[in-house]
């Protein structure tokens, strides 16, 4: 796949919109299918599209043992991350979950590069997340527990995603396609039974496929194309807009109007992600990526 025809910033902008537009539509689907069932439908639909498009099993034979472990690990993280993310957005506003996603990334950067700039970024992030949690923690403790788990898995997704994107044995998109098949298998025991009612519901199955394409295929492919060409500092600056993007989509699609404290919390997290800077040579090769949540 030729990802050089468009500037990498364009791929990032597409990714930023679809990363949270797809989950917003998934929230609307929760009325027809249980949360974990929607998560599995998303992963399975994306895995099917990638299988038909890229035929990723052909890549497996080209990988050495380390490459295979990397792809399998990435697939497992994708499965668990998506499940935790959906459990979180079932209980919390989309913008709140998106903002919490970035806390581990900022903490890792602050630990790896102990500078005044990163200390300021960490302080901004902590205050921002505190404002977000202070509004709803008592009412939705499980929502924050799932959001925290998603945040940790999001950091792992970034680490493994960058390593796959830079693996000379496999292109980032083919590695992603193979990892998505792994994710489908890992997520099956978690959400397959909850997805069964959708199999006899044409609207539910069509919506699940749509969520998978808009949540996992479009943004993850754009992530790989952007990460492979954008300098990490530029990518980190652009990714600071993602919590704000999620908040806007939550307002427009889900009518999730944030309180003043929540708006302030998201603004502080956006500022923290924009301010923080990583050490140039960090062993974990961590750089902010999609949300994901990833997402």
In a domain, 46, yes or no: yes
Burial class (CB in 10 A: 0-12, 13-18, 19+), 281: exposed
In a domain, 3, yes or no: no
In a domain, 138, yes or no: yes
Q: What is the pLDDT of residue 277?
A: 65
Q: What is the pLDDT of residue 283?
A: 41
Q: What is the pLDDT of residue 284?
A: 40
Structure tokens at 127: 């205050």
In a domain, 187, yes or no: yes
In a domain, 211, yes or no: yes
- Which residue bears the tokens 């994107």? 165
Residue 43 confidence (pLDDT) above 60:
yes
Q: What is the pLDDT of residue 194?
A: 95
Residue 36: band (very low, low, confident or very high) from pLDDT cuts 50, 70, 90:
very high
User: What gap in Å lies between CA 67 and CA 187, rounded to an integer?
Assistant: 21
Query: Which pLDDT tens digit goes with each residue over 199-246?
Result: 999 988 999 999 999 988 898 788 778 877 776 656 666 776 778 888
Query: Which pLDDT tens digit goes with each residue over 181-206?
Result: 999 999 999 999 999 999 999 988 99
Residue 110 confidence (pLDDT) above 80:
no
Mean pLDDT across 246-250: 86
Q: What is the pLDDT of residue 166?
A: 77
Query: Which pLDDT tens digit goes with each residue over 275-295?
Result: 766 555 444 444 434 444 446
Q: What CA dihedral angle connects 249, 262, 34 and 185, to 10 degrees? A: 80
CA separation, residue 270 to residues 64, 72, 114, 126 (Å)? 39, 32, 20, 12
Q: What is the pLDDT of residue 292?
A: 46
User: What gap in Å lies between CA 123 and CA 107, rounded to an integer?
Assistant: 10
User: What gap in Å lies between CA 186 and CA 178, rounded to an integer?
Assistant: 13
Question: How many structural domains does the chain have?
Answer: 1
Query: Which pLDDT tens digit goes with each residue over 65-95?
Result: 888 999 999 999 999 999 999 999 999 888 8
Which range among 8-12, 45-49, 104-108, 279-283 has the greatest average pLDDT? Answer: 45-49
User: What gap in Å lies between CA 181 and CA 135, rounded to an integer?
Assistant: 38
In a domain, 289, yes or no: no
- Encode 41-62: b = buried (16+ Cβ within 10 Å), e = exposed: bbbbbbbbbbbeebebeebeee
Q: Where are the alpha helices (DSSP H) in the chain?
A: 8-29, 35-54, 57-60, 65-89, 94-101, 103-112, 116-136, 141-165, 172-195, 202-212, 218-227, 232-239, 242-254, 260-275
In a domain, 2, yes or no: no
In a domain, 169, yes or no: yes
- Full domain range(s) for residue 121: 8-275
Q: What is the pLDDT of residue 28?
A: 87
């Amino acid at each position: 796949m030729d990802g050089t025809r468009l500037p990498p910033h364009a791929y990032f902008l597409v990714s930023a919109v679809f990363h949270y537009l797809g989950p917003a539509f998934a929230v609307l689907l929760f009325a027809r299918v249980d949360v974990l069932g929607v998560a599995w439908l998303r992963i399975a639909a994306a895995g099917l599209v990638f299988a038909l498009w890229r035929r990723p099993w052909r890549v497996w034979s080209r990988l050495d043992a380390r490459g295979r472990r990397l792809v399998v690990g990435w697939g497992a993280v994708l499965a668990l991350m998506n499940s935790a993310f959906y459990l979180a957005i079932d209980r919390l506003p989309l913008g709140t979950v998106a903002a919490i996603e970035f806390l581990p990334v900022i903490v890792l950067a602050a630990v790896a590069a102990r500078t005044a700039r990163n200390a300021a970024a960490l302080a901004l992030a902590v205050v921002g997340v505190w404002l977000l949690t202070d509004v709803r923690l008592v009412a939705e403790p499980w929502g924050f527990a799932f959001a925290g788990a998603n945040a940790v898995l999001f950091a792992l997704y970034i680490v493994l995603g960058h390593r796959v994107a830079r693996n000379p044995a496999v292109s980032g998109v083919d590695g992603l396609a193979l990892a998505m098949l792994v994710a489908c298998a890992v997520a099956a025991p978690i959400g397959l039974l909850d997805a069964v009612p959708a199999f006899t519901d044409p609207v539910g199955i069509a919506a699940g496929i749509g969520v998978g394409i808009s949540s996992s295929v479009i943004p993850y492919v754009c992530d790989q194309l952007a990460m492979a060409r954008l300098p990490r500092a530029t990518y980190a600056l652009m990714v600071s807009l993602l919590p704000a993007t999620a908040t806007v989509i939550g307002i427009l699609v889900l009518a999730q109007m944030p309180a003043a404290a929540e708006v302030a919390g998201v603004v502080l997290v956006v500022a923290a992600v924009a301010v923080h800077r990583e050490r140039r040579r960090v062993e974990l090769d961590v750089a902010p990526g999609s949300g994901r949540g990833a997402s």
